[in-house]
Amino acid sequence: MNVISPTWFDIGPIEKIPSRGARLVKTPRRDIAVFRTASDEIFALENRCPHRGGPLSEGIVHGRKVACPLHNWIIDLENGEATGADGGCARRFDVKVEKGRIFLDMAQAVIP
């Protein structure tokens, strides 16, 4: 019932993330990986692989997925789910792009 109104934080221009790459946003609660796909879609996931905590921001981004750099689990950027036979989920966060700048919903990001 308690609807949390989003608190959008401007985290920078989209060009600061390489195409098919990711960068990190550090918040007091957690590190969040912000991904940019080949055609400039932006996604945000907690920077922890559901397998053994690998830093997803360092993985190879392909399509709307990222390959974890530690043991190559493939994580869906849209919902954070591990694909294929692997089970587990990295937490996802709302992001939006306006006029070339990326906004992250910090109200979600601070929830434990």
Smaller CB separation from ligand FES, 34 or 54: 54
- From the list 5-13, 36-44, 69-77, 96-104, the region that binds ligand FES by CB under 6 A is 69-77
Residues contacting 109, CB < 8 A, separation 6+: 27, 29, 30, 32, 93
Are 83 and 49 in contact by the 8 Å Cβ rule? The answer is no
Is 111 a binder of other proteins (CB under 8 A)?
yes
Is 60 a binder of ligand FES (CB under 6 A)?
no
Judged by beta carbon distances under 5 to 8 A according to partner kind, the member of other proteins, ligand FES, none in contact with residue 51 is ligand FES
> Binding marks (x or -) toward other proteins, 30..59, rule CB under 8 A?
-x--x--xxxxx----------xxxx--xx
Q: Which helix (H) or strand (E) holds 60?
A: strand 60-62
Phi/psi of residue 32, nearest 5 degrees: -120, 130
The upper half-sphere exposure of residue 9, i.e. CA atoms within 13 Å in the direction of its Cβ, equals 14
Interacting residues with other proteins (CB under 8 A): 2-5, 7, 9, 11-12, 16-21, 23-28, 31, 34, 37-41, 52-55, 58-65, 67, 69-70, 72, 74, 76, 98-99, 106-107, 109-112
